[in-house]
Amino acid sequence: MLRNIDTHKMNILMEQNEEARQIINQLLENHQTIVSSISHEIRNPLALISSSLQLVETRHPNVKNFYGWKQAMEDIDFMRQLLDELSLFNNGSTVRPGVFSIEQLLKNIAISFAISVNEQDASIEFSSKIPTDLGDFTGDRLKLEQVVLNLLRNAKDAIGESGSISLSAARHADALHITVKDTGCGIPEDRLESIFEPFRTYKPEGTGLGLALSRQIITAHNGTISVESKEGEGSTFSIVLPI
Ligand SMILES: Nc1ncnc2c1ncn2[C@@H]1O[C@H](COP(=O)(O)OP(=O)(O)O)[C@@H](O)[C@H]1O
Ligand SMILES: [Mg+2]
């Protein structure tokens, strides 16, 4: 995976030399196609394995008590999630822009997130502050939805037993600000930048792709995503999108 610094060097090379730009673009496209084909090729047999095992489970319910069965099913689920996130990450820079209401998008996300929080855990308090003057935005609706959902899910993971999460937005002269704040475990200072790197996870079941994908999507919209956090107190993720 290319680190931020390598991408920067690559961009300079591409600006300076037309031939380099063409070659690098071809390599990037090639890389994207390879990742897509590999995940596609793995996803199909994995789906077959998963349905065969589910069939075994239906016909022989006893198998659930067999040592290792539950773990194997969870591992398969994890691999599916990893492949899904890998393909999202692989296509993260491709923006399909449209015009949509940010207020509506954020309100829909807030409603479904509030439901998921209520269903699972009554001790997490979720609030949202979404003003009515956010206006229309030109960007990739689905991808921006993924970003906000990723941040909310991370906030939920960080909270564990009890705490609060808030989603807020504001429109200033030339930018849209979206903030997700939580009172969770917080992030140690030395991890604050590395958490945006692909596959960087500190969760036993994490993929480490959520924030990498989020940054990729926000950068593709010429925006920025940053974090402020204090261990033991909580974190605030801020997105700024130029209008
Ligand atoms: N709101 C948060 N509070 C505390 N830590 C966080 C938060 N969001 C992200 N992190 C840290 O950043 C890491 C990377 O996050 P992410 O890229 O979404 O991958 P994953 O959630 O699969 O671990 C997480 O493993 C976690 O350690
Ligand atoms: Mg995550």
The domains of the chain are located at 4-90, 98-242
Single-letter amino acid, residue 168: S
Share of the chain above pLDDT 70, in %: 97
Which of 86, 154, 228 is the best mutation target for the ligand 1 pocket, counting ligand atoms within 8 Å of the beta carbon and taking the most? 154
pLDDT per position as a tens digit, 42-77: 999 999 999 999 999 999 999 999 989 999 999 999
- Which ligand ends up closest to the CA of 156? 1
The H-or-E segment that residue 222 falls in is: none
Q: How far apart are the C-alpha atoms of 103 and 43, rounded to whole Å?
A: 36
Q: How far apart are the C-alpha atoms of 131 and 176, rounded to whole Å?
A: 12
pLDDT per position as a tens digit, 130-187: 999 898 999 999 999 999 999 999 999 999 888 999 999 999 988 999 999 999 999 9
Our answer on whether the CB atom of 223 is closer than 6 Å to any ligand 1 atom is: no
Q: How far is the CA of 91 from the centre of ligand 2 (A)?
A: 17
Return the pLDDT at 122.
66
Our answer on whether the CB atom of 198 is closer than 6 Å to any ligand 1 atom is: no
Return the pLDDT at 193.
85
The two three-digit tokens of residue 120, written as one number: 């699972």
Cross-strand pairs, 100: 137
> Coil, helix or strand for 59?
helix
Q: How far apart are the C-alpha atoms of 155 and 164, rounded to whole Å?
A: 9
User: pTM of the prediction?
Assistant: 0.82
Q: How far apart are the C-alpha atoms of 149 and 143, rounded to whole Å?
A: 10
Contact 182, 168 (CB under 8 A): no
Q: Is the pLDDT of residue 116 over 90?
A: no
Query: Which superfamily, per CATH, for 98-242?
Result: Histidine kinase-like ATPase, C-terminal domain (3.30.565.10)
Q: How far is the CA of 12 from the centre of ligand 2 (A)?
A: 31
Query: What Å distances lie between residue 30 and 12, 27, 57, 83, 209, CA to CA?
Result: 21, 5, 41, 18, 21
Q: Whose CA is nearest to atom 26 of ligand 1?
A: 202
Q: How far apart are the C-alpha atoms of 207 and 135, rounded to whole Å?
A: 34
Q: Whose CA is nearest to atom 1 of ligand 1?
A: 155
Q: Decide the pairing of beta strands 136-139 and 98-101.
A: antiparallel
Q: How far is the CA of 154 from the centre of ligand 1 (A)?
A: 6
Residue 4: pLDDT band by 50, 70, 90 thresholds?
A: low
